A and B are shown apart, each in its own frame.
Chain A
Amino acid sequence: MKTLNHFILSLTALFCAACWIPAANAAGLLIPAGSNLLPLEILEHHVDVVIEDGYAITTVEQVFGNPNDTDLEAIYSFPVPARAAVGEFTYVIDGETVTGEVLEKQQAREIYEAEKQAGRETALTEQDEYRTFDISVYPVRAGQDVRIRLTYVQPVHVDSSIGRYVYPLEEGGVDEQKLSFWTYQEAVEERFSFRLTFRSSWPIDDFRLPQHPQAVIQQLSDREWEVSMVNEAAVAEEGAASGSAPAAVHRLDQDIVVYWRQAQGLPGSVEMVAYKQEPGGRGTFMMTVTPGDDLAPITEGRDWVFVLDLSGSMEGKYQSLVEGVNEGLARLNPDDRFRIILFNNQAREITHGFAQATPENVQRFIGKLENNHPANGTNLYAGLSLGMKSLDADRSSALVLVTDGVANVGHTEKQDFLDLLEDHDARLFTFVMGNSANRPLLESMAKVSNGFAMNVSNSDDIAGKLLEATSRLTHEAMHDIDVRFVGVKVGDLSPELIGSLYRGQQLIVFGHYWGDGEASVILDSKVSGQDRSYSTRFEFPEIATLHPEIERLWAFAKIEDLQNRLDYFGEGADLEQAITDLAVENGLVTDYTSMIVLREERFDELGIKRLNRERVEKELLARQERAVQGIRDHRVDQNQPMYSSQRASHSNGGGAFGPWMLLLLLPLLAHRFRTQKLPQ
C-alpha cells in the first residue's frame, strides 16, 4: 500500500510537471499568417459563470474591433470545454440582439457563405471535432466593432469533495495544418472580466484559483461564493502621446481553473434536478449520486506498464517525464514489476518483458529512457498494442498512458482502439494533458477498460490532482454499475453504459420520466467480484419548471452515447441523422450541427423555424426566477439515505494559525515588551 501510494504520487507529480509548460497557443482571433492587414482586435472579453443546482452556465461576451479601412471577417477559436452543450449564440445587429438557430453543419456553412457574399450580417459557431469551437462573424465594419455572446451549459462534478471548474483557453498546438495557416491574436485590449457566482446546498469551506492569485474571492455565506477578476485599460489622459499600441489588459493564453472544497463529514447522497412542463407530459431529470466512502484500500501488488508519448509535441516535457518515472520506479516494492513502452511513429519496449523493480533495474532502464528524444508523429495504437502484450493473467495489471496529442500515425480509428482494449484484461489509466488531446478517444478507451481518464490543465493544482489520482488508485472500485428505477416509468438513460466508479467520483445520470410519484432507485455494482447494491426511494415531481437547461444537458449526454455507438460500430447514416435531429431539436452545436445567426427577417425568408430562440427565452426566464430565489436543496434521499457512510474526501489536513490567532498574539507581544524590565 505504501509502495503503491508513493508510486502513484510520483507518477501524478510527473504528469503534472510534464504538462507544466507554457502553452504555445491560446484562444483568440485567427489571423491569416503573413497577412498585410492590421489584425482584428479583441476589445472586450467578459466571462460570466453561474454554478448552481449541479451544473454550470458559462456566458462569454466579446467585442471585436477592426482597425483597418476595409470590412473584415472575424474568426475566433477556443478549446472545446469538457462536456459543454453550446446552446445560445447571439450577435448584435443594428443594436438588436439576435439569437442563433441550429442547422445541419453543411447547410449552416452554405447559408453563412451566401449571406457573407451578399454583404449581410451573419455569424456562425462550428465545432472542429474535439479540438475547438470556431466562431465566424461577418462583417466587422471598417473602424467599427461587433458584439457577440455565447452560452454553454456543463454538468459540474465533485471529486472527493473537491469541485473543479475550468474555463479553457490554452490550445495545445496539435493541429499542425491549422497552426501553419493561422496565427493567434489572444490579447484583450480594453476590458477583461471573469465573474463566477457559486451557490450550493452543501456547505463550502474554501474556494481557490491556484494560478490566478489576483482573483477576488468573496464568501457571502458558507453556501454562496463569488469570484471576480477585472482588468481594464487605463483611460488615456487628455493630451497624452498617442500612436503607440495600447498594452493588452489580459491574454487569453491560460486556463482559468477554479476549485471549491466541501465541508468535511458530509454524507453520501443522491440529488435530483428535474424539468417537466406539463403534468401529463414527459419529464427530464439529472440524478447525481455521491457515493459513501465504503471502498476498501487495495493491498495486493501489481504489474505496471508505462506507455509514454515520445512524439514531437512532447519536446520540452520529456526530461520531466523521465525524472518522474525514475521517482516512481525507485519507490516500487521489489516484488512489483514494470515495463516501459515508448511510442512515436512506432512503438518499442525498452524493458523487453517485465522487470523486477530492483534498484539496479530501475537505474538501468532510466538510463535507457534518458537516451531518447521526442520526435515524429503519434502512433498511439502501436504503443498500446505493445503494452497489452505479455500481460500476466495471474497478476493485476494496469497501463499508465501519458499523452498530450492525437493519434495520427498507424491505426487512428476509435473502433480499433476500443477493440484492442476489450480484448485484454487490463485497466487503462490515462493522463490527458492540455486541452487538445483526443479526449473522446482517450476517455472511451479508459471506460471500456474500466479505468479512468484524468484531464490535467497547466493551471491545475499539482497537489490536488496528485491526491485525486492517489485516492482513486489506492482503493477498490465499483464495476459493472447498473441503475434501475421501479415505480415510475423511466427511459432514455444516459450514459447507456456506466462502467466503473472510483473512490471519490460522482455518478451523473440523465433520463426521461413519464408520470410522477415515488420510485425506488437501485444501484447494482460489483466490488472485488462481489455484488454490492444500494437503494433509496424518492419522488419524481409532477411539474418542475425551474431548470429547462436539463433538457439540453440530457440531449448532449445522449449525443455522446450515440457518438460512442457510432465510433464503435463504424459508419452509420441512421446514427448520424439521429445525432443531427437531437441537436437541432435541442439547439446544440455538435460535429454535425452548427449555430447560425442572421438578420431577423432572413430567418423568415429562409424558412428557418425559431425553435432555439423560444428555448433561450424560456431558459432566460428560468434563470431570472432562480436568481431571486434562495438556495435550493436537491437532495432526495434524506428519508431513506442510499449510503450510511460519509462521502469521500481527501484525507489530508493542515492547520494555519490565521489572523485571529495573531490578533491574540499581538497583546502577548505588546505585554512582553511593556514588561521587559520586570525580572525574568
Chain B
Amino acid sequence: MSAYRIPVLTLGLVLALAGLHWLVPDKTLLYFSASDISGGEIWRIVTGHFVHADWEHLLWNGLGLTVLGAVIEQHSRVLVWTALVTGVASVSILLLTPFSQLDYYCGLSGVLNTLLLVALWLEWTRTRSWLIIAIACGAVAKALIEVSLGASIVTHISWPPYAWSHVAGLIGGFMLVVSGQKQPPILVGLPEKMVNNSHAQNA
C-alpha cells in the first residue's frame, strides 16, 4: 500500500501540456476569453487553462504540475482529475465575472493552486506535520503579495501576471477540501482501492 506509485497520469498530463504548446503555435482560438465563451466557444473554458503564453510559462507550470500531481496521485488518480476539474471551475468562474476584466487568459497556475491545497490537505491528514502548515502559509502569503503588487514574483512571462487566478485556485481547493469532509473518503485521501471496495460492498 505504501509503495511508490509512478505518477503515470501526471506525467501524461505534463506531456500533453508540452505537446499542445509545441503543436499549436497559434493559440488564439484556445485562450480563455469571456466574450468568446458567451458567444458559444465554450471549449475555451477548459483549453484556456492548458495553453501557455511561452516556454517559460509552460516550464514553471509544468514543473508545478509534476510535483503536485505526483503527490496527489500517490493517493488517488481520480482525485487528480477531481482537483483539476474543481480548479478549472473556480478559476473560470472568476474569469467570467466582470471583476476580472480580462480579454484573454491562459495558463495552469490558477488551477495548480487548487491542486496545491488538496496536496497539502492530503499530507496534513496523513502526517500532521507542521511543515505542511508552514508550506500552506507560504503559498497563501505569496498569493496575497502578488495580488497586492499586481505582479508575479520572480517569473517574467510574456503576458502580464493575473494573480487573482491564484487566489481563485486556492479558494477552489479550500472548497474541495471542505466538501470532501462530507463526501466519500476518496476526497480526504483514502486510497482508490479502499473506496472501490466500499462501493462494491454498498452495491
Contacts and interface: CB of A to CB of B under 8 A. Distances in A.
A265 interface: yes
B71 A659 contact: no
Contact of B159 (A5, A653, A673): A653
Interface residues of A, number: 54
Interface string B148-169: 0011111111111111011000
From A263, A660, A665, name the one whose CB has the most chain B CB atoms within 10 angstroms: A665
A660 B150 contact: no
Contacts of B155: 656-659
Nearest to B189: A680
A666 B68 CA distance: 10
A662 B157 contact: no
A668 B110 CA distance: 19
Interface in B175-198: 189-191
A669 B67 contact: yes
A204 to B, nearest CB: 10
A615 interface: no
A655 B74 contact: no
B29 to A, nearest CB: 8
A669 B71 CA distance: 7
Given A654-B52, A660-B154, A676 B71 contact: no
Contacts of B70: 669, 672
B127 A656 contact: no
Interface string A636-680: 000000000000011111111111111011111101110111111
A137 B130 CA distance: 73
A655 B104 contact: no
A111 to B, nearest CB: 50
Contact of B158 (A1, A2, A461, A667): A461
> Which of B103, B107, B129 gathers most chain A CB within 10 Å?
B103
B56 A656 contact: yes
Interface string A46-86: 00000000000000000000000000000000000000000
A668 B132 contact: yes
B2 A205 contact: no
A467 to B, nearest CB: 8
B139 interface: yes
Contacts of B17: none
A205 B102 contact: no
Contacts of A462: 26
A217 to B, nearest CB: 8
Contacts of B151: 205, 263-264
A668 B123 contact: yes
Nearest to A680: B191
Contacts of A671: 123, 127, 129, 131-132
B132 to A, nearest CB: 7
Contact of A661 (B64, B101, B131, B189): B64
A652 B104 contact: yes
B162 A658 contact: no
A654 B28 contact: no
Given A2-B35, A5-B35, A671-B131, A653 B165 contact: yes
Interface residues of B, number: 69
A210 interface: yes
A407 B187 CA distance: 68
A654 B70 CA distance: 24
B158 A208 contact: yes
A131 to B, nearest CB: 32
A263 B150 contact: yes
B83 interface: no
A143 interface: no
Interface stretch (A6-14, A166-174, A533-541, A550-558): A6-14
Nearest to A470: B103
B53 interface: yes
B63 interface: yes
Given A651-B101, A675-B126, A207 B156 contact: yes
Given A205-B151, A658-B154, A669-B71, A650 B61 contact: no
A657 B60 contact: yes
Interface in B62-76: 63-64, 67-68, 70-71, 74-75
Contacts of A208: 156, 158
Nearest to A206: B156
A466 interface: yes
Nearest to A2: B39
Contact of B53 (A264, A463, A651, A664): A463
B157 A656 contact: yes
Contact of A652 (B52, B102, B139, B152): B102
B107 A656 contact: yes
A534 to B, nearest CB: 23
B120 interface: yes
A673 B154 CA distance: 28
A10 B127 contact: no
A661 B109 CA distance: 10
Given A656-B60, A672-B123, 7 more contacts: A13-B28, A264-B151, A464-B158, A652-B103, A653-B160, A656-B155, A672-B74
23 contacts: A205-B151, A205-B160, A264-B151, A463-B159, A652-B31, A652-B105, A652-B159, A653-B161, A654-B105, A655-B107, A656-B152, A656-B161, A657-B109, A659-B154, A659-B155, A660-B142, A660-B154, A664-B138, A668-B119, A671-B123, A673-B4, A675-B127, A680-B126
Across the A-B interface, give the 6 residue pairs with the lowest CB-CB distance, nearest first: A653-B162, A657-B64, A652-B104, A2-B39, A658-B155, A654-B107
Interface of A: 1-2, 5-6, 9-10, 13, 17, 205-208, 210, 217, 261, 263-265, 461-464, 466-467, 470, 649-662, 664-669, 671-673, 675-680
